Amino acid sequence: MAAKGGTARRRAGAARAMPARTAASTERDVRLLREELDEYLDPAGYLAWSERTRTYTILGTRSPRGGLVRCPSCGTGMLMLVRSRATRKRFVGCSNYLNGCDASSPLPQRARLRALRQACPECSWPMVIYRYSRKSSWSRMCSNHECPARAAR
């Protein structure tokens, strides 16, 4: 007797069919998995604990797409341009924020802004170029608001 949808009903005592293919782990598979995990573990071989998600994450698996330079505070994340969802303001922040890195710095809000993949020679934060109008020229500055090179201007 056919049920709705045209599929046949199973009898109560019928055995469930096993999947056609089952994977048996072999020594080769285990070795390949270990090699792949070694690529993603940090140099000490530890996993990172994320307080926000309350899970362990393997460092390096979520590499950011828009990373500019390596974060000088934590050393594992990348500094990148971020726009706040709540306030819509732009700032430079670390991609490792969920794991506890709080490196961030505000940026000019009304200016046209382009981030460079160059590090500042003083503090190793990314450099940005900006201009406020079409008639003004592009100016270069460090994105870190506490940088001595930026304070000298």
pLDDT band at residue 15 using 50, 70 and 90 as cut-offs:
low
Cα–Cα distance for residue pair 103/48, rounded to 1 Å = 17
pLDDT band at residue 58 using 50, 70 and 90 as cut-offs:
low
Cα–Cα distance for residue pair 90/107, rounded to 1 Å = 6
Model pLDDT for residues 97-136, shown as the tens digit of each residue: 888 888 888 888 898 988 888 888 888 889 888 999 999 9
Q: Would strands 104-106 and 112-119 be described as parallel, antiparallel, or unpaired?
A: unpaired
Distances (CA, A) of 91 to 7, 20, 31, 106, 152: 57, 53, 43, 4, 21
How large a percentage of the chain has pLDDT more than 90? 6
What pLDDT is stored for residue 131 in this prediction? 92
**Domain boundaries in the chain?**
37-151
Place of tokens 């048996």: 24
What pLDDT is stored for residue 132 in this prediction? 92
